[in-house]
Amino acid sequence: MRRIPVCIPSLGKKEYSYILDCLRTNWISSSGRYINLFEEKFSQYCGRAYGIATTNGTSALHLTLLALKIVPGDEVIMPTFTIASTAFAVIYCGAKPVFVDSEVDTWNMDPSLIESKITKRTKAIMPVHIYGHPCEMTPIMALARKYGLAVIEDAAEAHGAEYMGQKAGSFGKVSCFSFYGNKIITSGEGGMVLTDDKRIAQRCRRLKNMSFGQKIRYRHEEIGFNYRMTNLQAALGLAQFENIETLIKKRRADALLYNRLLSETKGLTLPVERPNTRNVYWMYALLVNKDFGLSRNELMNRLKRRGIATRTFFIPMHQQPILRKLRLISKERFPVAEDSAKRGLYLPSGSGLERREIEYICDCIKRTRRTT
Ligand X SMILES: *Cc1c(COP(=O)(O)O)cnc(C)c1O
Range 304-340 burial, b when 16+ CB lie within 10 A, else e: eebebebbebbbbbbebeebeeeebbeeeebebbbeb
- 92 near ligand X, rule: CB under 6 A: no
Pick the closest to residue 11 from 191, 202, 185, 204 (CA basis).
185
Nearer of residues 178 and 368 to ligand X, judged by Cβ: 178
Q: How far is the CB of 175 from ligand X (least distance, A)?
A: 11
Q: Which of 30, 43, 64, 86 binds ligand X (CB under 6 A)?
A: 86
- 240 near ligand X, rule: CB under 6 A: no
The Cα–Cα gap between 249 and 185 comes to 12
The Cα–Cα gap between 183 and 157 comes to 6
CB 184 within 8 A of CB 132: yes
Q: How far is the CB of 182 from ligand X (least distance, A)?
A: 8
- 102 near ligand X, rule: CB under 6 A: no
Tell me which stretch binds ligand X (CB under 6 A): 2-10, 78-86, 138-146, 324-332: 78-86
- 30 near ligand X, rule: CB under 6 A: no
Tell me which stretch binds ligand X (CB under 6 A): 111-119, 153-161, 289-297, 346-354: 153-161
Q: What's 111's DSSP letter? A: G
- 82 near ligand X, rule: CB under 6 A: yes
Nearer of residues 163 and 292 to ligand X, judged by Cβ: 163
Q: Which of 33, 105, 141, 180 binds ligand X (CB under 6 A)?
A: 180
The Cα–Cα gap between 178 and 193 comes to 9
CB 234 within 8 A of CB 187: yes
Helix (H, G, I), strand (E, B) or coil at 26: coil
- 140 near ligand X, rule: CB under 6 A: no
Q: How far is the CB of 1 from ligand X (least distance, A)?
A: 28
- 170 near ligand X, rule: CB under 6 A: no
Nearer of residues 292 and 314 to ligand X, judged by Cβ: 314
The Cα–Cα gap between 261 and 252 comes to 14
Q: Which of 154, 254, 273, 338 binds ligand X (CB under 6 A)?
A: 154
Q: Which of 103, 110, 153, 157 binds ligand X (CB under 6 A)?
A: 157
Q: How far is the CB of 130 from ligand X (least distance, A)?
A: 7
- 83 near ligand X, rule: CB under 6 A: yes
- 316 near ligand X, rule: CB under 6 A: no
Q: How far is the CB of 364 from ligand X (least distance, A)?
A: 26
Q: How far is the CB of 114 from ligand X (least distance, A)?
A: 18
Cα distances from 222 to residues 132, 203, 217, 225, in angstroms, run: 36, 11, 12, 10
Tell me which stretch binds ligand X (CB under 6 A): 17-25, 77-85, 316-324, 352-360: 77-85
Nearer of residues 58 and 80 to ligand X, judged by Cβ: 58
Nearer of residues 86 and 368 to ligand X, judged by Cβ: 86
- CB neighbourhood size of 261 (10 A): 16
- 153 near ligand X, rule: CB under 6 A: no
- 128 near ligand X, rule: CB under 6 A: yes
The Cα–Cα gap between 203 and 287 comes to 42
Total number of residues that touch ligand X (CB under 6 A): 14
The Cα–Cα gap between 32 and 141 comes to 37
Tell me which stretch binds ligand X (CB under 6 A): 154-162, 214-222, 263-271, 325-333: 154-162
The Cα–Cα gap between 22 and 32 comes to 8
Q: Which of 97, 191, 237, 348 binds ligand X (CB under 6 A)?
A: 191
Residue 24 backbone class (left: φ over 0; alpha: ψ -120 to 50; beta: rest)? alpha
The Cα–Cα gap between 242 and 45 comes to 10
CB 299 within 8 A of CB 265: no
**Site residues (vs ligand X, CB under 6 A):** 56-58, 82-83, 85-86, 128, 154, 156-157, 178, 180, 191
